[in-house]
Structure 1
Amino acid sequence: MQWGWLMGAALGGYVLGSLSFAVIVSRVMGLNDPRTYGSKNPGATNVLRSGSKKAAVITLLLDAVKGWLPVLVARWAGLDVDAQALAGLAAFLGHLYPVFFRFEGGKGVATAAGVLMAFSPWLGLCTLLTWLVVAYLFRYSSLASLSAAVLAVVWYGLGDGTLWVLDRYTMAAVVVMALFLVARHAANIQRLVQGTESKLGSKKKS
């Protein structure tokens, strides 16, 4: 794999990931900037606090697609798995540090889910089910996201090569995304420990 292709995959993924759809969708639909209320996080969960479920769903889907698409484009272009993994990771980092929005992005949950779905639909499904089960049992979006991030690494490592192909590049991307997700949820972790974290459906900061 030539460095030029790797850099192209990374740049393309990062630029697409830098599109902060929470802000874009809110502007198009005439809503307040999600960076000015609630948790001030430009993500679907905070957009939901605007009162518009439609805007939140659109944001969620677009954030996931921008993680999914770069990996698929790299694959369709015939690039090796290292370029595919790099494209997905770059899209995720673009969401966290978007060049178009002063490098102030969201936590990356939906974008990471899109990347995992592109790596393997089965891996994405396992991670999504983890989020849904934890969210249903405990009603904490942050706890569900943290559990899904950590267990995504476990699910990938448990793959036997039939449901998804095991390789060090993809594994590295999954681990790096999990580490960033945990770091981005540091404040949530503190509130969970203190018992002050808001539950799903609450309008309090989370």
Structure 2
Amino acid sequence: MLVAAALGYLLGSVPFGLLLTRFTGAGDLRAIGSGNIGATNVLRTGRKGLAAATLLLDLAKGAAAVWLGRLLATDPAAVADPAAVAGAAAVIGHCFPLWLRFRGGKGVATLMGVSLGLAWGIGGVYAAVWLGMLALTRISSLGGMSAAVAAPVAAQLLGHPGYVPVLAALAALVLWLHRANIVRLLNGTEPRVGSKPKAGPAE
């Protein structure tokens, strides 16, 4: 279980957004927009391809962590599922990477990868809610938070109750990391995708 958690954390803590923007000459992502290392902030560099690559890689590391956890699942009587433990650790690693002084992303893409890795149905609901809410509102943070909350609900409804606690805990983490976004949503000042950013930090 400890090995699963360690491998998951190490995978999750790889800051793909930061690495891609540096290697392509787009600058230090931490000095752009909100300073976040996720795909939404990469999009603020004007490099849509880099943002898409960041999204896919952040998603992939979540799914890869679950896969590695399953390889380690040798004890059917284990108290917890190593795949779920590794997936949770990957999200935590993305949000709090040791190499960046624990200042990472908000975990939305990595949590989608974990959801897909745990069960395709859960991941499918996650993606549908995320994309649907984003298309409806054009607010990135609202789409991500809605998808995170939908994951444990989908797990319960689709017959995976064992995954509900970990997905609910990760959804709570995503909401907590978006607390500033929630305040802006309530105030009606949360920026929409494609709009010109106003002064001050964004999602």
Residues in 1 aligned to 2:103 and 2:90: alpha-carbon distance in whole angstroms: 14
Compute the displacement of 1:74 (Å). 2.1
- Aligned letter for 1:58? A
Residues in 2 aligned to 1:127 and 1:55: alpha-carbon distance in whole angstroms: 22
How has the CA–CA distance of structure 1 residues 20 and 203 changed in structure 2, closer, same or farther, with 3 Å as cutoff? farther
SS of residue in 2 equivalent to 1:106? coil
Residues in 1 aligned to 2:4 and 2:33: alpha-carbon distance in whole angstroms: 35
Residues in 2 aligned to 1:10 and 1:78: alpha-carbon distance in whole angstroms: 12
Residues in 2 aligned to 1:178 and 1:78: alpha-carbon distance in whole angstroms: 24
The aligned residue for residue 54 of structure 2 is 59
Residue correspondences, number: 195
Aligned pairs for 1:45-84 (under 5 A) are: 45-79=40-74, 82-84=81-83
Compute the displacement of 1:77 (Å). 4.1
User: Is the CA contact (8 Å cut-off) linking 2:69 and 2:84 kept in structure 1?
Assistant: no
Gap runs ≥5 in structure 1: 1-5
Residues in 2 aligned to 1:157 and 1:181: alpha-carbon distance in whole angstroms: 19
Runs of 4+, deviation exceeding 2 Å: 76-81
Residues in 2 aligned to 1:130 and 1:153: alpha-carbon distance in whole angstroms: 13
SS of residue in 2 equivalent to 1:15? helix
Offset from partner CA, 1:82-117 (integer Å, 9 cap, x none): 111100000000001101111110001000000000
SS of residue in 2 equivalent to 1:198? coil
Greater alpha carbon shift after TM alignment, 196-205 vs 69-78: 69-78
TM-score (norm 1): 0.90
Residues in 1 aligned to 2:82 and 2:72: alpha-carbon distance in whole angstroms: 10
TM-score (norm 2): 0.92
SS of residue in 2 equivalent to 1:131? helix
- Aligned letter for 1:120? A
- Aligned letter for 1:172? P
The aligned residue for residue 99 of structure 1 is 98
Greater alpha carbon shift after TM alignment, 89-98 vs 140-149: 140-149
Q: Is 2:125 the counterpart of 1:126? A: yes
Residues in 2 aligned to 1:188 and 1:112: alpha-carbon distance in whole angstroms: 18
The aligned residue for residue 36 of structure 2 is 41
Compute the displacement of 1:174 (Å). 0.3
Residues in 2 aligned to 1:52 and 1:90: alpha-carbon distance in whole angstroms: 29
- Aligned letter for 1:63? D
Compute the displacement of 1:78 (Å). 4.1
Residues in 2 aligned to 1:69 and 1:136: alpha-carbon distance in whole angstroms: 28
SS of residue in 2 equivalent to 1:107? coil
Greater alpha carbon shift after TM alignment, 138-147 vs 70-79: 70-79
Compute the displacement of 1:76 (Å). 3.3
Aligned pairs for 1:10-49 (under 5 A) are: 10-49=5-44
Greater alpha carbon shift after TM alignment, 66-75 vs 184-193: 66-75
User: Is the CA contact (8 Å cut-off) linking 2:130 and 2:144 kept in structure 1?
Assistant: yes
Q: Is 2:190 the counterpart of 1:191? A: no
The aligned residue for residue 3 of structure 1 is none
Identity of aligned residues (%): 43
User: Is the CA contact (8 Å cut-off) linking 2:33 and 2:41 kept in structure 1?
Assistant: yes
SS of residue in 2 equivalent to 1:129? helix
SS of residue in 1 equivalent to 2:190? coil
Structure 1 residue aligned with 2:175, among 173, 182, 187? 182
